[in-house]
Amino acid sequence: MRFLTAGESHGKALTLIMEGLPAGLALDEEYIARDLRRRQGGYGRGGRMQIEHDRAEILSGVRYGRTIGSPISLLIRNADWENWKTIMSVEPVEKEAEPVTHLRPGHADMAGALKYNLDDIRPVLERASARETSARVAAGAVARRFLEEFGVDIHSHTVCIGGRWTRRDAAINWEQVEASCVRCAEVEAEKTMVEAVDKAREAGDSLGGVFEVIVDGVPAGIGSHVHWDRRLDGRIAQAVMSINAVKGVEIGAGFLQANLPGSEVQDRIEPGPELPLRHRTNHAGGIEGGVSNGEKILVRAAVKPVPTLARPLPSADLRTGNAVEAHIERSDVCVVPAAGVIGEAMLCLVLADSFLEKFGGDHINETLRNYRGYLAQSERLLDHE
């Protein structure tokens, strides 16, 4: 399975093409809209979220509510396009917009301008914008719908904003998470996170944090240990790291394991009559040797503070090199709650592709038959009768 997105932040629309999903999968626009709404929420979001009401229109690949095996194309219109018709016009215009040349520290502005030989950073910031992730979330929703057929359940929650952490062992109520304005499982931690965002807003600053994605229901055997690019943990890390502002990814206990001896890190396997055998702990985060082991997959990502600040940092002009203040583009104070939803989408996409690699099938019934056959095969490994 593969997908491509296209479109600019203030262009007419974002488009998406997905190829490789089997026929026969139930899918509708409202299902996709649910995750798009979740992406737009979260305390600390900016004014753009008041303008856009994202909805993905299915243009192809679905008939009578079910996929037909051909590429699926989706369209997400940008409501703000009406205010940007001249600045982002596809056709030549009589008078072009003033170029944006004040570089923003922490953005792709300078590197992108140099790479593409541009003397205006507008084309860079339009595509490098996190607005593109709405198309990814739409693609992830389609992949989530596929994974539901196999009983796979994917959630995310915020564990830190601006140095305010939840307890690592805190119980997670997913209804509480979805009701929380920062998508946090702990009420007390939520209060401190909101206070931190308010202080950052007053100071014209921004905050980062950490989100965690938890996946339940993935059977042992997804991914592979035989080639570097087929290792499930490697594919997940790359996908999550590709999210705007994510600067670190860990699976399971991650960096904490660097401080512990092996006897405390390795997840001991419990003897039992059925496969997969269970582990006493899950420091590996559900993946060993690049292959899922049947435990929950646990992924955490560190999100840096949004680079565009209401009180801009000192910077330089792209054309002259003179000292200037960084360009101000409408932005957020904190995106960690929304980033968690995007993280879910990326895991959905990696896992859906990995499931299809393992089980194949041109129709969902064929894929499910192969999946059930694999589970039955695993059970027979410990059949001593």
CATH number at residue 306: 3.60.150.10
Residue at 42 is within a domain: no
- The whole-number pLDDT of residue 199 equals 96
- The whole-number pLDDT of residue 313 equals 92
Residue at 51 is within a domain: no
Question: Residue by residue, what is the 3-state secondary structure of the chain?
Answer: CEEEEECCCCCCEEEEEEECCCECCECCHHHHHHHHHHHHCCCCCCCHHHHCCCCEEEEECEECCEECCCCEEEEEECHHHHHCCCCCCCCCCCCCCCCCCECCCCCCHHHHHHHHCCCCCHHHHHHHCHHHHHHHHHHHHHHHHHHHCCCCEEEEEEEEECCEECCCCCCCCHHHHHHCCCCCCCHHHHHHHHHHHHHHHHCCCCECEEEEEEEECCCCCCECCCCHHHCHHHHHHHHHHCCCCEEEEEECCHHHHHHCCHHHHCCCECCCCCCCCCECCCCCCCEECCEECCCCEEEEEEECCCCCCCCCCEEEECCCCCEEECCCCCCCCECHHHHHHHHHHHHHHHHHHHHHHHHCCCEHHHHHHHHHHHHHHHHHCCCCC
Residue at 369 is within a domain: yes
Residue at 72 is within a domain: no
- Residue 248 lies in domain: 90-380
From first to last of the 385 residues of the chain, give the pLDDT tens digit: 999 999 999 999 999 999 999 999 999 999 999 999 999 988 876 655 566 689 999 999 999 999 999 999 999 999 889 899 999 999 999 999 999 999 999 999 999 999 999 999 999 999 999 999 999 999 999 999 999 999 999 999 999 999 999 987 778 999 999 999 999 999 999 999 999 999 999 999 999 999 999 999 999 999 999 999 999 999 999 999 999 999 999 999 999 999 999 999 999 999 887 777 899 999 999 999 999 999 999 999 999 999 988 899 999 999 999 999 999 887 799 999 999 999 999 999 999 999 999 999 999 999 999 999 999 988 776 654 4
Residue at 62 is within a domain: no
Residue at 258 is within a domain: yes
Residue at 4 is within a domain: no
Which pair of structure tokens corresponds to residue 363? 């129709």
Residue at 47 is within a domain: no
Number of domains in the chain: 1
